[in-house]
Structure 1
Amino acid sequence: MKTAYIGTYPPRRCGIGTFTENLFKSAEQAFGNKVDGTQSFVVAINDNGTTYDYPSEVKYTIEQEVLDDYLKAADYINNSGANICVLEHEYGIFGGDSGIFILSLLHKLKIPIVVTLHTVLKTPSYNQKAVLQQICRMALKVVVMSHKAIEFLINIYDVPMEKISFIPHGVPDIKHDRQKVRKEFGFEDKKVLLTFGFVSRNKGHAVAIKALPRVVEKHPNLLYIILGRTHPAVLRHAGEEYRESLVKLVHEHKLEKHVQFIDEFATDNDLFKYLYAADIYLTPYLNEAQITSGTLSYALGIGSAVVSTPYWHAAELLNEGRGRLFKFGDHDALADILLRLLDDPAELKEIKSKAYEYGREMTWPKTGRQYAELAIAVIKSNHSDRFKNSMLPDLTALPSFSLKHADRLTDSTGILQHAKYGIADFKEGYCLDDNARALLMSAMAYRLRKDSRALELMPTYLSYLHYMQSEDGYFRNFLSFSRQYLDERGSEDSFGRTIWALGYLIRFAPNDAYKQVGRKMYFNAVHHTASLGSIRAIATSIVGIYHYLKAQPADEVMTERLKELTGKLVHHYYESSSDNWQWFESLLAYDNALLPYSLLCATELLKSDPIKEVAIESMSFLEKHTFNNGHLSVIGNEKWFKKEGERSFFAQQPIDAMAMVLMYHQAYRMTGKDMYLKRLYKSFLWFLGENDLRISLYDHDTHGCCDGFEYSGVNRNQGAESTLAFLISYLTVLDVEKDIIALIRRIKAKLLSTSRRIIA
């Protein structure tokens, strides 16, 4: 059995690193492997550019904030011959917003995944929840160390119970003679209290110090040891401010002889010496939100008498008399418990006995064996999952179609451009681009779904277009919230999108009144298409004229205009293309798929093989650079993709995914080929997590779509452009819903047949 372990690792000073090391050694011994890195291995996470002198089992390292390292690590693991990957997950050790970079690595793996969750938050942020849900979806088994974590995973994160395994936190099987270590430390005549672990404000050391004066009064030989360094995150942001405040508190209560700070990261061996030497172990944490505590597990594992606040893991582990609990922040209650235990050796002994009996079941040899057995079971049951990347999710698994966020952004003037998260941003006002998209979306929604709210919204968007049209037929673009024009002449891109929306409205108007208004505006504007220079404005105008001609095929003037615009776009292609660059300009920028999409539309009407050839060639070229490992990876507008340069992965925008959906929809309608239908659906799934960061941009709470993703994670603002791009894409999928359902059935049948042959 060859296993790839991912996590932090010693000599990096990190509790997760210590856990990963102990798991590696104990599980490998259970597998019967040598613990020297010749079989299983570790992929270690570095922090802040720091390098470490790792032991031989660490075969690959990842710089925490370098996304490319995660992708390369996935390749390394895939080529290593490993049978399974075991991931140690904790917020803060992986790169990107809420550790989002780890999703890219996990998705690229071709072997089954088991994940250990060291933190499961009760009230996660949107991104924290989304990242953890994606990890749990990709993992075949999710290991937690408390039953409270199981409750949270089921009720908050929607993880199926059958996917979750409970394995307690391991405890090193280290033994020391209590009297010898007490003599070594000079504790023979002391009553010793101990707290260990990283020092930070939420650990509640101040509460313990405030409890001591009453205890010291009766037990003047008492010594409280605070063992551990300041947490690295605290040290970076606040230095030793907290530790210094504790020292000051000790002076204020005249406890200098009774409190000892040991500022070091103790080895397991030294740590266990202190545990054996102590009479009582304290965890006076300030709030309940700790689902797993390695320090508490260690104390319980050797049979310490533990006194703690009732944070989640403590309430669970110290149940049935295995320790004593006091209220958060209540130093008087803590003093009462300490006095009772120090005055009653029999009660103290009883607690230790119960703790030791329970702790013996948590030693690393036993915990490692449980992980090994779980890994073997996962591999044996993984036959069908080898095809998981080929599967398309059912349409029934998608969110319901909803106009709620578009409705939220719309007032009596039109749809507002921007949003702060899910709330409309009035300061930025309105624009022609978004209201044209909104008109297109509402017309599609009524045609395909007979959505009554879409019908109600439609005249608002149409009225905005009418208000922004100048006497010469061209359009202004921007309008303030106070309804003041902000420009005299809008961009060519906004003009082209308006021609597109008006053409679609003429073709699919829900009533004659809207159609006649659309026709008047269209014919007042369409003559301006002759002077367009922007290739995207030319493309969107082609699409608008295409829709108009589908309704009025005998209009020879419009047919000639379609030929002229198509000729311009084809000319751009021939001017810029070469053997290794089949494109319309010297870079791939934004809304790229609109260009081949428009030519596919023109091909349908003009029946021109040269136009079709350019459409197919450019579509194939774009596809080569945007479909990465089976999912859509649109060109990011951070740097775009210049000829002879490197493509930009960030920031990816929803309008680019929408254009891909529309392009493949038209290609499928013209050819009937499954490959285009599959790519159409895959392109739509970009919105729902089938992307480079493996995270959904659709917000199930607001029914809006996030504005894209940057290098570190999702841009949570949900403006009109992004939400409309999602809705138009979804409606395009629904237009071929029956065909997609049939395709999914064919894929499932084929994979089931293949899986049965392999199992046989």
Structure 2
Amino acid sequence: MNKQLKVLFIGTYVPKECGIATFTFDLLNSVSGVHDDIHCEVIALNDPSETYNYPEEVVFQIERNKLEDYHRAADFINQSDADIVCLQHEFGLFWGNAGDYIFTLLSGINKPVITTMHTVIREPEPEYRASTEKLIRYSEKLVVMSQTAVDMLKDVYKVPDEKIEVIFHGLPDYPFNNCSKYKRMLNLKGSPLILTFGLLSQNKGIESMLEALPEVVSQYPDLIYLVLGATHPVVKKHNGEAYRDYLMKRVSELGLENNVVFHDKFVEKEELCTYILASDIYASPYLSREQIVSGALTYAIGMGKAIISTPYWYAQEMLSDSRGILVDFGDTDGFKNSLLYLIENPDECNNMRKKAYDFGRKMTWKNIGKEYNTVFTKALKNYNTYPRIQNRFNFLPNQLPEVKLDYLKLLTDDVGIIQHTNLGVPARHHGYSTDDVGRGLVALTQIIDSQEKAEELWKLITTYMSFLEHAQTDSGHFHNFMNYRREFLDKEGSEDTLGRAIYGLGHVVSCPYMSKNIRTFAHTLISKSKMQMEKLNYPRAKAYTMCGLYEMLRAGVGADDFESTFISRRDTVRSIDALVDKDTFQSIFISHADSLVDLYETNHKEGWNWFEPTVTYSNAKLSESLILAYNYTKNRTYRKVGLATLDFLTDIQWKGDFFDIVGNQGWYSCDGEKPIFDQQPIEAGYMTQAYVSAYETVRERKYLELARYSFEYFLGRNRLRTPMYDSSTGAVCDGLNCDGMNCNQGAESVICYLMALNSINKHSDRAYGTQFKPAIEEVLPKRKSLLSANQVE
């Protein structure tokens, strides 16, 4: 190969005491030993709260019950320079229904996957069939360790021949020897010494051997039966040592205390091999036929042991041609007679050992590594990355959905918008909020493009305006939360509440199709909030306020525009002093813009182009407010900061074909790790608006492309590839969680969806027309060039 091949293994790994951990370790070393230009690393699976001092090749760890870890592992793989992924699959390794957590990882990566199947089920339950069929789809190649497994994949799961590779379980390469020197090394007695090893569990069938021993021991009193291995950790967790205690009790009942030894220990590989080499006979009395592979049996074959086994699938195949003796499940007499035969016929026993040893030469780890490397090379040659990435979101529509207000109307009564729902049913006990009403006005006024549309939405808009008028306090601030009994629950809302109210009212003032009375009324409420706007401290409150004032200022609205109306309606206006001239609004607008720039200058640094040390909520609204400030003032500093911070949000959230929004489970600090969940749709809505504003300002095509992709987050262009928008009702799910969608569908979600849809609708011909040619690779430059291009002077 012309370049170093980099293989990333996924499985349990040493020092974890587990058969697959040992297998993964041996496989990695056999593959990396084939050529000097092969580099291997590991993603290790851990049980909950389990920690290990892993060797340096372990580069990532998954706590197997944490779905978020599988998402992060997928991200790690995509960002790594690994060429190929080699997955060790056993249903019990992974959490979920039939181990389906692993598909969170497999569905999110763009590398070829070679899967070693440690279990294949002939008659699967529905969930295991579904899991196996998914595994087959996500795997470029399936490696199995027996012809029996091949036949099952073809007959039961209809897997084509070209997708299946047979590579035996590997084993260490030891010379063919007698047992005496190894017995001396371990200070073992026993003539003969019979061995069964592996993690202890009921399916081992040890009791079958115990029942067979009394008659054999009566003839050969020096016989020792050594049961080597700790109890399986899962068995021990749920049942303690019940099985071991049962076996020891049975030993006592059968009078075998001098002939049966339990070595309760997980032995390392070198010590294990010494035990095998010291034994005369290996017994494998498993109780289940559905055993498709056994590392223990493989080692015994490769080290030239005389073997007695039950006829499970793997044993039937490996011990054919007189390489061992098969005894029916639970057949005590069969085990007894087989033991006596091997003890009393040493020449036949030795021939059997030699046949097993010779067969095992093809299974040495050196040869297994070469075979895996051949499979990796074939898979890489046939794998085409591009179609897989492109097809991840092939379910998305090729045009924008129509504006649908059914669900917003469902949530609106004669008071306002009910905040939350239970599975789409309005939850009245949660009441109403000014936050939702303010943003609702933005969504509605954006839709109005004619006098007829204004008349259609007049009832909704006047209801929302009435709510805000009632929510406004004497000081000009706003209450936020109202219960269903129409009682406000706070003295006043947060600064963000004030900003969101001004945001909505500003859109009403600037809407040319609204009646002058309604626009005047909105202006009155804004004017009354002048002093509150001037003393805002929080950046998002300032950004919301700026977005509202921008609408009013760009429409050229000041006190003079409405003076005659106010004079004729003095009886309904509480104070003519509430009227504020245009210069005052400009002053507030520019002051807030300057403060955001100052905040950016204080906190941004290399690799962190943001206003604060943490990216939290409503993020794109901060960037958009400065882009709008540039549009109004033509101050280029506002544009530079607005675009730099918007590009930074893109940089940390765009995954190449979807947006992975900063979750609110801890937010994202400059010195921390970005949380994946709980993702909120409001962020996608605000990003869409900000990208549209950026496109309208600088006319760079990438912003329109990004606006389309961020809007499509609602339609399924997200980490889970699941639509949040329900086209039949117009509802939007409330969040993206590690285990799926938050099925509640509140007011905030649908309002932010509508705002995003309205924004991109203005450019639907370019965003979804025939001239739209997505260039994902060109949408976002690399971080270094992005930061340097947008760095504020």
For 1:24-63, list aligned pairs within 5 A: 24-30=28-34, 33-34=35-36, 40-42=39-41, 50-51=52-53, 58=56, 62=59
CA contact (8 A) 1:592 1:656 kept: yes
Q: 1:754: which partner in 2?
A: none
Deviations 1:476-508 (A, max 9, x none): 333457876432432231343345456668989
Q: 2:692: which partner in 1?
A: 665
Q: CA deviation at 1:663?
A: 0.9
Q: CA deviation at 1:567?
A: 1.9
Distance 2:195 2:428 in 1: 59
For the aligned residue pairs, the C-alpha RMSD in angstroms reads: 6.2
Kindly indicate whether residue 596 of structure 2 is the aligned counterpart of residue 573 of structure 1: yes
CA contact (8 A) 1:107 1:138 kept: yes
Distance 1:366 1:163 in 2: 19
Kindly indicate whether residue 494 of structure 2 is the aligned counterpart of residue 527 of structure 1: no
Distance 2:71 2:283 in 1: 40
Distance 1:339 1:686 in 2: 66
Give the secondary-structure state (helix, strand or coil) at the position aligned to 1:22.
Answer: helix
Number of residue pairs matched by the alignment: 665
Q: 2:22: which partner in 1?
A: 18
Q: CA deviation at 1:172?
A: 0.8
CA contact (8 A) 2:506 2:551 kept: yes
CA contact (8 A) 1:153 1:159 kept: no
Bigger mean CA deviation after superposition, 496-505 or 590-599: 496-505
Q: Judging changes above 3 Å, is the alpha-carbon distance between structure 1 residues 445 and 294 closer, same or farther for their aligned structure 2 residues?
A: farther
Kindly indicate whether residue 142 of structure 2 is the aligned counterpart of residue 119 of structure 1: no
Q: CA deviation at 1:107?
A: 1.9
Distance 1:152 1:445 in 2: 46
Q: Judging changes above 3 Å, is the alpha-carbon distance between structure 1 residues 122 and 49 closer, same or farther for their aligned structure 2 residues?
A: closer
Q: 1:196: which partner in 2?
A: 198
Q: 1:618: which partner in 2?
A: 642
Give the secondary-structure state (helix, strand or coil) at the position aligned to 1:660.
Answer: helix
Kindly indicate whether residue 5 of structure 2 is the aligned counterpart of residue 3 of structure 1: yes
Give the secondary-structure state (helix, strand or coil) at the position aligned to 2:179.
Answer: helix
CA contact (8 A) 2:189 2:224 kept: no
**2:73 maps to amino acid:** I
Give the secondary-structure state (helix, strand or coil) at the position aligned to 1:172.
Answer: coil
Distance 1:252 1:494 in 2: 74
CA contact (8 A) 1:569 1:584 kept: no
Q: Judging changes above 3 Å, is the alpha-carbon distance between structure 1 residues 744 and 44 closer, same or farther for their aligned structure 2 residues?
A: same
Kindly indicate whether residue 370 of structure 2 is the aligned counterpart of residue 369 of structure 1: yes
Distance 1:338 1:664 in 2: 76
Distance 1:51 1:17 in 2: 14
Kindly indicate whether residue 653 of structure 2 is the aligned counterpart of residue 649 of structure 1: no
CA contact (8 A) 1:593 1:660 kept: yes
CA contact (8 A) 1:587 1:640 kept: yes
Q: Judging changes above 3 Å, is the alpha-carbon distance between structure 1 residues 573 and 598 closer, same or farther for their aligned structure 2 residues?
A: closer
Q: CA deviation at 1:668?
A: 1.4
**2:526 maps to amino acid:** V
Deviations 1:282-311 (A, max 9, x none): 4458x98x9976556656877955448xxx
Kindly indicate whether residue 112 of structure 2 is the aligned counterpart of residue 140 of structure 1: yes
Q: CA deviation at 1:535?
A: 3.8
Give the secondary-structure state (helix, strand or coil) at the position aligned to 1:590.
Answer: coil
State the TM-score, normalizing by the size of structure 1: 0.65
Q: CA deviation at 1:19?
A: 2.5
Kindly indicate whether residue 74 of structure 2 is the aligned counterpart of residue 103 of structure 1: yes
Bigger mean CA deviation after superposition, 465-474 or 526-535: 465-474
Kindly indicate whether residue 586 of structure 2 is the aligned counterpart of residue 563 of structure 1: yes
**1:274 maps to amino acid:** I
Q: CA deviation at 1:666?
A: 1.4
Distance 2:267 2:747 in 1: 54
For 1:361-510, list aligned pairs within 5 A: 363-380=364-381, 385=385, 396-397=395-396, 414-417=417-420, 429-430=430-431, 432=433, 435-436=436-437, 439=440, 470=470, 472=472, 475-479=478-482, 485-501=488-504
Higher normalized contact order (CA 8 Å, seq sep 6+, divided by chain length): 1
Q: Judging changes above 3 Å, is the alpha-carbon distance between structure 1 residues 542 and 624 closer, same or farther for their aligned structure 2 residues?
A: closer
Give the secondary-structure state (helix, strand or coil) at the position aligned to 2:284.
Answer: strand
Distance 1:676 1:484 in 2: 44
Q: Judging changes above 3 Å, is the alpha-carbon distance between structure 1 residues 579 and 175 closer, same or farther for their aligned structure 2 residues?
A: closer
Q: CA deviation at 1:673?
A: 1.1
CA contact (8 A) 1:225 1:259 kept: yes
Q: 1:745: which partner in 2?
A: 773
Residue number among 139, 143, 159 corresponding to 2:137 in the alignment: 159
Q: 1:609: which partner in 2?
A: 634
Give the secondary-structure state (helix, strand or coil) at the position aligned to 2:196.
Answer: strand
Distance 2:525 2:497 in 1: 12
Give the secondary-structure state (helix, strand or coil) at the position aligned to 2:85.
Answer: strand
Distance 2:43 2:442 in 1: 47
Distance 1:637 1:260 in 2: 56
Residue number among 215, 228, 246 corresponding to 2:244 in the alignment: 246
Distance 1:253 1:405 in 2: 74
Q: Judging changes above 3 Å, is the alpha-carbon distance between structure 1 residues 462 and 616 closer, same or farther for their aligned structure 2 residues?
A: farther
Distance 1:343 1:681 in 2: 75
Distance 1:267 1:487 in 2: 65
Distance 2:74 2:742 in 1: 21
Deviations 1:230-287 (A, max 9, x none): 556888x79xx723763266327735637533233334455455397445314458x9
Distance 1:28 1:482 in 2: 71
Deviations 1:180-235 (A, max 9, x none): 37993545457x572403x5xxx436x84666775557666797654323556888
Q: Judging changes above 3 Å, is the alpha-carbon distance between structure 1 residues 45 and 94 closer, same or farther for their aligned structure 2 residues?
A: farther
Q: Where does the alignment leave 5 or more consecutive residues of structure 1 unmatched?
A: 65-90, 309-313, 324-332, 449-455, 752-760
Q: 1:539: which partner in 2?
A: 543
Q: Judging changes above 3 Å, is the alpha-carbon distance between structure 1 residues 525 and 458 closer, same or farther for their aligned structure 2 residues?
A: same
Distance 2:333 2:445 in 1: 74
Distance 1:407 1:301 in 2: 71
Distance 2:244 2:707 in 1: 61
**2:76 maps to amino acid:** L
Give the secondary-structure state (helix, strand or coil) at the position aligned to 1:371.
Answer: helix
Deviations 1:317-345 (A, max 9, x none): 4677979xxxxxxxxx9963454454468
Kindly indicate whether residue 283 of structure 2 is the aligned counterpart of residue 280 of structure 1: yes
Q: CA deviation at 1:155?
A: 3.7
Q: Where does the alignment leave 5 or more consecutive residues of structure 2 unmatched?
A: 122-127, 143-162, 321-326, 343-348, 450-455, 563-580, 780-793
Q: Judging changes above 3 Å, is the alpha-carbon distance between structure 1 residues 166 and 689 closer, same or farther for their aligned structure 2 residues?
A: farther
Give the secondary-structure state (helix, strand or coil) at the position aligned to 2:114.
Answer: strand
Deviations 1:540-562 (A, max 9, x none): 24434656789998995697676
Q: Judging changes above 3 Å, is the alpha-carbon distance between structure 1 residues 726 and 538 closer, same or farther for their aligned structure 2 residues?
A: closer
Q: CA deviation at 1:594?
A: 0.7
**2:674 maps to amino acid:** F
Q: CA deviation at 1:128?
A: 7.0
Q: CA deviation at 1:664?
A: 1.1
Q: Judging changes above 3 Å, is the alpha-carbon distance between structure 1 residues 573 and 442 closer, same or farther for their aligned structure 2 residues?
A: closer
Give the secondary-structure state (helix, strand or coil) at the position aligned to 1:142.
Answer: strand
Q: Judging changes above 3 Å, is the alpha-carbon distance between structure 1 residues 219 and 457 closer, same or farther for their aligned structure 2 residues?
A: farther
Bigger mean CA deviation after superposition, 522-531 or 719-728: 719-728
Q: Judging changes above 3 Å, is the alpha-carbon distance between structure 1 residues 355 and 39 closer, same or farther for their aligned structure 2 residues?
A: closer
State the TM-score, normalizing by the size of structure 2: 0.63
Bigger mean CA deviation after superposition, 655-664 or 549-558: 549-558
**1:336 maps to amino acid:** G
Distance 1:462 1:300 in 2: 84
Deviations 1:412-445 (A, max 9, x none): 78555488xx799969835526644884797599
Distance 2:118 2:602 in 1: 60
Distance 2:103 2:435 in 1: 33
CA contact (8 A) 2:328 2:334 kept: no
CA contact (8 A) 1:689 1:696 kept: yes
Q: Judging changes above 3 Å, is the alpha-carbon distance between structure 1 residues 245 and 394 closer, same or farther for their aligned structure 2 residues?
A: closer
